A and B are shown apart, each in its own frame.
Chain A
Amino acid sequence: MSLHIIKHGLLDLVQDAGRYGYQHLGINPGGVMDSIAMHVANILVGNDPSEAVLEMHFPAAEIEFEETLLIALAGADLSASVDAKEIPVLTPVIIQKGSVLHFGRKQNGARIYLAACGGFAAEEWLGSFSTHTKVKAGGFEGRALQKNDRINLKEKQQPVLSADQTAKIFPWRANVSDMYREHSFRFIPGNEYWSLDETSKHKLAKETFVISRENDRMGYRLGGVSLQMTATTELISTAVARGTMQLLPDGQLIILMADHQTTGGYPRVGHIITADISSLAQMQAGEKFSLEQVTLADAENLLLKQQMDLQQLQNACNFRLQEYLQR
């Protein structure tokens, strides 16, 4: 059972929730950029929320289904279709053997996630199926998918599927609108925030930032606003985390994303809260946003709220999926 890559996309990677427990060796956790999308795509097909998925960018791969499969797409909307039939995101879809999944115009977002019922038979490295492209390990041969690759599915009992057409679209859609934000992201101050000059602190709270062209899985460089420290103190390297906002010597910020280094020596002026990282992962070059300061307690509570919403969605999915597949 496999998915055949007829044409690869810009960057199609197998990713999961990331590789933890090795940062003391400089091995960064990686994993999906948008964890909400991974979670939602998986629960729509009855998988564990952190089962490995395909993370695709624009343009995305063209994929032939060598087996009838239940899948779901989440994250960006790249106008998916099968034989000219539109395939919506956030909806379980049965795609019949021999059909080809295409992606067209970019509607919104930067990354789309494809989950397949039962999960992909990806390569595990240090406890994770995430592709580590630097080390060339994990995922699919430690690299992005290429034309003619075949990514297998786990030898697991597939639910009894009925697809009398090329694609059977389930009549429901997960509502995730409350989980994503578009124009403002929340942050907590970093250890070096207090060394910003007053004007810079004010700018951080009031000005509009723009995602620059230099944005990838390692981090997003921001443009539009220049910040300054009261004094230039030489920092020695210490840990950084996903969401850390570092101030570069040219006065611009970089927000560290999934493939960030484990340590860094630039001032950490703030940290984007975990609840807003998935939203940020869907931003593209040229898009603008502002920053809103919150407390650490707020950040934790917002994450809890999001996790509870996802849990509720999972319960609903399990219920409906069961009902639908038994029919």
Chain B
Amino acid sequence: MSTPYHIYPCGDHAVTIELGDGINAAVNQNVISLFQYLTEHKIEGMKDMIPAYNTLTIVYDTSLLKKKNPGIPVYETISAHLQKAAGLANEKNAARARLIKIPVCYDPSLAPDLVSLAETHQLSVDEVVKLHTARTYRVYMIGFLPGFAYMGSVDEKIITPRKTQPRTMVPAGSVGIAGEQTGIYPFDSPGGWQLIGQTFTQMFDEKKETPCYLQPGDEVQFYPVSIAEFEKGKNT
């Protein structure tokens, strides 16, 4: 990995490595490569990894490592390992990107912001749907809620800021846009994204070994379904 990077503490039990600036597929690819590399080459004392747009954060067990080597600063040890791993990780580690197709019903009855969003951009509803389904999106990161995938980037013609007044309840399965990002609410939750559709695909199932449908680094494509297909899918 030749990208310049910067490592900093995120408290006394986590360290972050920043691999570039902004929301950028190439930078995020490096984040995912490093995440995959460290999944296979675990650092002793590592408890968690949090990939984000341009950063990877490692959460570690300070007590365990400090008890083992009281004289050595834990942060120094972990960041040295991280620095080394960043040098070794490469795109081969992220070759496992999956393409996942997700059905979305864009019927206005399930998409409370679709009409106003189309009007804002002087587009028809059909044009918005076409633009939203035309692209393959990258899952940059998962955060906010268990299984909430931040995907991007949407066509610039439909980039729309979050709602000024977030809703107190957004139904699970709602597909939204926030800025250049698009995402799916895995749970009923408060939220401020512009809601343009709904999927019946269950984004989170706590009974599964991997409870989240999407993972960082996945490629996602949406395809439109009718309200009848949506209802049918929801009931199966």
Contacts and interface: CB of A to CB of B under 8 A. Distances in A.
A179 to B, nearest CB: 13
Contacts of A132: 146
B129 interface: no
A24 B39 CA distance: 11
Contact of A134 (B10, B62, B143, B146): B146
A20 interface: yes
Contacts of B204: 135
A22 interface: yes
| Interface-central residue, A125, A126, A241, A243, by most chain B CB under 10 Å | A241
A325 interface: no
Contacts of A239: 10, 14, 16, 50, 52, 55, 57
Given A236-B22, A300-B75, A303-B66, A24 B142 contact: yes
B70 A191 contact: no
Contact of B48 (A20, A271, A273): A20
Contacts of B216: 24
Given A237-B52, A237-B150, A274-B12, A25 B47 contact: no
Interface string B165-207: 0000000000000000000000100000000000000001010
Contacts of B5: none
Contact of B141 (A125, A191, A263): A263
A137 interface: yes
A26 interface: yes
A25 B215 contact: yes
A281 B14 CA distance: 20
| Interface-central residue, A126, A132, A240, A273, by most chain B CB under 10 Å | A240
B43 interface: no
Interface string B1-15: 000000011111110
A136 B206 CA distance: 9
Given A21-B48, A236-B23, A243 B11 contact: yes
B10 A241 contact: yes
B10 A261 contact: no
Given A27-B146, A239-B10, A271-B11, A307 B66 contact: yes
B86 interface: no
A267 interface: no
B142 A25 contact: yes
A194 B67 CA distance: 31
B66 A25 contact: no
| Interface-central residue, B12, B59, B74, B206, by most chain A CB under 10 Å | B12
Given A241-B13, A241-B14, A263 B22 contact: no
A299 B11 CA distance: 9
Contact of B11 (A21, A23, A241, A304): A241
Interface residues of A, number: 48
A39 B212 CA distance: 32
A25 B216 CA distance: 8
Contact of A26 (B12, B74, B144): B144
B122 interface: no
Contacts of A136: 206
Contacts of A126: 211
B230 interface: no
A263 B63 contact: no
B85 interface: no
A307 B63 contact: yes
A262 interface: yes
Contact of A300 (B22, B74, B143): B74
Interface in A205-250: 236-244
B142 A26 contact: yes
A198 B210 CA distance: 47
Contact of A263 (B12, B18, B52, B215): B52
A43 B70 CA distance: 24
A17 B22 CA distance: 34
Given A237-B150, A300-B74, A300-B75, A262 B143 contact: yes
26 contacts: A20-B48, A21-B48, A22-B48, A23-B49, A24-B142, A27-B146, A126-B211, A135-B204, A137-B206, A188-B11, A191-B10, A236-B23, A236-B54, A237-B141, A238-B57, A239-B52, A239-B57, A243-B11, A244-B11, A268-B10, A272-B11, A273-B12, A297-B73, A300-B62, A300-B74, A303-B12
Q: 9 closest Cβ contacts across the A-B interface?
A: A263-B143, A271-B11, A239-B57, A299-B12, A239-B50, A20-B47, A23-B48, A26-B142, A137-B206
Given A296-B73, A300-B75, A303-B62, 15 more contacts: A20-B47, A22-B48, A26-B148, A28-B146, A134-B187, A136-B206, A188-B11, A236-B22, A237-B150, A238-B54, A239-B10, A242-B11, A262-B50, A263-B144, A296-B9
